[in-house]
Copies of this chain bind each other. A is one copy, B any other.
Amino acid sequence: MSDPSAAEGVRQRNLARLLRLVHLEGPLSRARLTESTGLNRSTIADLVAELVREGLVEERAPDPSHRVGRPSPVVVADPRVTAIAANPEVDALTIAAVGLDRGIPIRERIELDHLLSPEEAARLIAERVESWRAGELADARIVGVGLAVPGLVRAADGLVRNAPHLRWADAPVRDLVADATGLPTVAGNDATLGAIAEHLFGAAAGFDDVIYLNGGASGIGGGLIVHGQPLLGAGGYTGEFGQNRPGIASATDRRADDGVLEDEVSRARLLAAVGLHTADEPALAAAVAAAGPTAAEEVARQRRILSTALANAVNALNPSIVVLGGFLATIAAVDVPGLGAMVQEQTMSATSEELLIRVASLAEDRLLIGAAEAAFAELLRDPGGAAARS
């Protein structure tokens, strides 16, 4: 079987299964790996040895398990295998190093007093990578860069088609960063990457069909997980629920004539209702919780419209869970079961009877984790090939 397509296919698959398991579930004994994969323990030993040779995992002394039988060595993702995650935003550029063991050894938020250009973003990222390499990440093996971009990112080549708040249009950010750093780079929509992070490690862990909706200062974005995998669509532009024309039951609930969802359900309207000009998410949540009647009515109005948007999405996609982040989490948290009931009223009963609605759980790390996951994706798909190349 010298043809990679067939023979190494099996090997590659099994290596990938193991690496993904230790990456996602954390340290696992070899015995548990045999259980999870169904492979023979001799095979597991061989596969793990190969991953160790490639510097992707480490074997540690067995945990004192206090169980009968010979203890099994613990396999753990090598923390030195590192991805760089970056998230350009209107007011800041956040860069972090994320280990294959899911640790985040360094994180830096670069505040900005001007709008970032794609070139400047690439330069800043490359500078940080360079300086970290000389210091904190001296013994790290950096396998790639993942970018979480607030805008439409073409899946095929990472071209940022349109990031309105950054004023980026057809910006080849992925290639710019790849050139500046010399590292393989991937770019994705921030909400899509957030959905991946919540699916792997957050509120949606264990669910195969997820709708994730995030409410940010600049609008509403979303990401979809179907069959346990991110849904990218034909071009990579899924989840743009914020641009949907909302179905609004009561005409009196409408504020923006012929507006889209994010014109009606918006952080700005929420801030105005509670009488704040600017606030971070916890402050807004506190203000909403302490809100007077007029603010409460605005929250209720947004909840009504949101519930219809969710119901529409649920009718179409029949997810097992809906996860809400950002200010959508804030207005949902007022009464999560109540929101669920509103959604249920507007869906066919079967589609929502086992539907869960949850608020997101990963907070500010979400985008960095999602971006790092994207950067790790190639390695996790083909550990042998990717390890050999880097």
A-side residues, CB < 8 A to B, are 3, 5-6, 9-10, 14, 38-40, 152, 154, 161-162, 207-209, 222, 224, 226-227, 229, 231-241, 243-251, 258, 308, 311-313, 315-320, 346-351, 354-355
Contacts and interface: CB of A to CB of B under 8 A. Distances in A.
A237 to B, nearest CB: 4
A295 to B, nearest CB: 26
Nearest to A249: B258
Nearest to A207: B234
A354 B316 contact: no
Given A162-B348, A258-B249, A350-B235, A244 B316 contact: yes
B3 A319 contact: no
B222 A316 contact: yes
Nearest to A170: B350
Contact of A10 (B3, B6, B348): B6
Nearest to A243: B315
The majority secondary structure among interface residues of chain A is: loop
A250 B207 CA distance: 39
Contacts of A350: 152, 154, 161-162, 235, 237
Contacts of A316: 222, 224, 238-241, 244, 313, 316-317
A145 to B, nearest CB: 23
Given A38-B3, A229-B227, A245-B346, A351 B317 contact: no
A346 B246 CA distance: 12
Contacts of A5: 38
Contact of A227 (B39, B227, B240): B227
Contacts of A227: 226-227, 229, 231
Contacts of A319: 233-234
Contacts of A154: 350
Given A38-B5, A348-B240, A234 B313 contact: no
A348 B237 contact: yes
15 contacts: A6-B38, A6-B39, A10-B10, A161-B349, A224-B317, A226-B231, A226-B233, A227-B229, A233-B319, A233-B320, A234-B320, A235-B318, A237-B350, A243-B315, A245-B308
